[in-house]
Amino acid sequence: MPAIAHASVGRSGLKVSRLCLGTATLGGQCDEDLSFRILDHARELGISFIDTADKYPLGSGYEEAGVTEEIVGRWIASRRPDVVVATKVHGPTGTMPWNGGLGRRHLREAVEASLRRLQIEAIDLYQLHRPDPSTPIEETLETLTDLVREGKILYAGCSNFLAYQLALALGSSDLNGFVRFTSVQPRYNMLFRQVERELLPLCEEKGIGVVTYNLLAGGMLTGKHDPTRPPDPSSRFATTGAVDIYRERYWHDEAFAAVSRLTQVAERLSLTLPTLACAWVLHQPTVSSVLLGATRPEQLDLPFAALEVSLDDATLQEIDGITRVFRQGDAVQ
């Protein structure tokens, strides 16, 4: 197993590999055999950080929710000492109003179900998948605090929180002595940079680790898509329950124009576009780890190569000029 760089998650004692295997495709687009091959290849590369969620596979209803955790659980059964396991909670697990969200009952039921499916005694990083405006953040944080004290989870994090939501949660933790978020997991890539305006500076100030997802913008940053042709039938722009979301996010002229220019930058550096995209995110100082998703084992190789890439200031400035429009909302300079 090759050596791979590790980093602390914010100002915590949690150490993770700089690359993390995201598992949203496992059990959906990928059957169990293929899922195991992807997991095996990640470990061969030295990736020891695995991120999942109780609602996965991506695009599934509550009837299929948990299938991904079950697959991950069977895979890590003999590998537990060698991996850091993160999962997320929020999505519906049934038809009743309390079968979802971030209320006390659902959190307690969900963590027990995740522990059972993952076949582990404690979850290394337990993340709120998204905010729940119907539940006071104090109730959620108090429950997470209890779960840490009981040894069911080791660290708590959040995902898809806006900067003000994270700030309110941190303030509540400090005021009430609740567990503090160790990490935040935002969508972040060259074609979606809004988090740079407020969320990332807040994380740097408060010592919160950043674990990014959606590195390749649903596949747009592979450079394989052509705006004059229908998307590849196996891509997120054509399959899974998230087709409309991904088309709205990335299937537009500005994105295709940026991808064309970024491809030229990558070629000049003798890199692939996925490698450049990953190297750019890893360069951001608040980023602890970058999630990599895959539907085939070999898809992990190109982003993995980014660990050996150093981008100079001129290249970073060029990329910023190409993609700055995707920050959206910057003050006029």
Residues with active-site annotation: 56
Q: Kindly report the length of the chain.
A: 333
Buried b (16+ CB within 10 A) or exposed e, 110-149: bbebbbebbebebbbbbbbbbbbeebebeebbbbbbbbbe
Between CA 291 and CA 83 the distance in angstroms is: 15
Phi/psi of residue 183, each to 5°?
-145, 160
Q: What string of H, E and C letters represents the secondary structure of the chain? A: CCCCCEEECCCCCCEEECEEEECCCECCCECHHHHHHHHHHHHHCCCCEEECCCCCCCCCCCCCCCHHHHHHHHHHCCCHHHCEEEEEECCCCCCCCCCCCCCHHHHHHHHHHHHHHHCCCCEEEEEECCCCCCCCHHHHHHHHHHHHHCCCEEEEEEECCCHHHHHHHHHHHHHHCCCCCCEEECECECCECHHHCCHHHHHHHHCCEEEEECCCHHHHHHCCCCCCCCCCCCCCCCCCCCHHHHHHHHCCHHHHHHHHHHHHHHHHCCCCHHHHHHHHHHHCCCEEEEEECCCCHHHHHHHHHHHHCCCCHHHHHHHHHHHHHHHCCCCCC
Both structure tokens of 321:
């000029």
